Amino acid sequence: MTGLLDALVDDAGLFPPTSLDMGSAVRRHRADLAAGEPMLTHRFLCPAARVDEFLAELSPEDRVRVILIGGADPAETRDAIRTVIGTPGLTLAGVEWAPAPLAPPPADASGPEEGVAAALGVALRTLAEAGAGPDVPLFAEPAGVAGAAAMTGALIKSGAGRPLGLKLRCGGVRPDLFPPAADLAAALVAAARAGIPVKATAGLHHAVRHTDPATGFTHFGFLNVLLASALAGRGADVDEVASVLLDTDADRLAALAGSLGPEEARRVRAGFASYGSCSTSVPVREAAELGLSGPAAPAAGSRLPR
Q: What are the backbone dihedrals phi and psi of residue 281, each rounded to the nearest 5 degrees, phi first?
A: -105, -40
Number of domains in the chain: 1
pLDDT in tens, the chain (306 residues): 579 999 999 999 999 999 999 999 999 999 999 999 999 999 999 999 999 999 999 999 999 999 999 998 999 999 999 999 999 999 999 999 998 554 444 555 555 677 889 899 999 999 999 999 999 999 999 988 999 999 999 999 998 889 999 999 999 999 999 999 999 999 999 999 999 999 999 999 999 999 999 999 999 999 999 999 999 999 999 999 999 999 999 999 999 999 999 999 999 999 999 999 999 999 999 999 999 986 543 433 333 343
Residue 170 included in any domain: yes
Q: Is residue 113 part of a domain?
A: yes
> Could you give the CA distance from residue 20 to residue 17 in angstroms, rounded to a whole number?
9
Flag whether 300 is in a domain.
no
Tell me if 2 is assigned to some domain.
no
Task: Report d(CA 154, CA 137) in Å as an integer.
Answer: 15
The answer to whether position 297 is within a domain reads no
In the chain the first and final C-alpha atoms are separated, in Å, by 23
Q: Give CA–CA dist 289/34, Å, rounded.
A: 23
Cβ atoms < 10 Å from Cβ of 173: 13
Residue 114 inside a domain? The answer is yes
Does pTM top 0.85 for this prediction? yes
Tell me whether residue 249 is in a domain: yes
302 lies in some domain: no
CATH of the domain at 122: 3.20.20
User: Contact 7/284 with Cβ under 8 angstroms?
Assistant: no
Q: What is the DSSP string of 107-164?
A: TT--SHHHHHHHHHHHHHHHHHHHT--TTS-EEEPPSSGGGHHHHHHHHHHS--SS-E
Amino acid at 219: H
Please answer whether residues 45 and 15 qualify as being in contact, where contact means their C-beta atoms are separated by less than 8 angstroms: yes
How far is the C-alpha of 147 from the C-alpha of 89, rounded, in Å? 37
CA distance 260 to 50: 40
Range of the domain at 277: 9-289
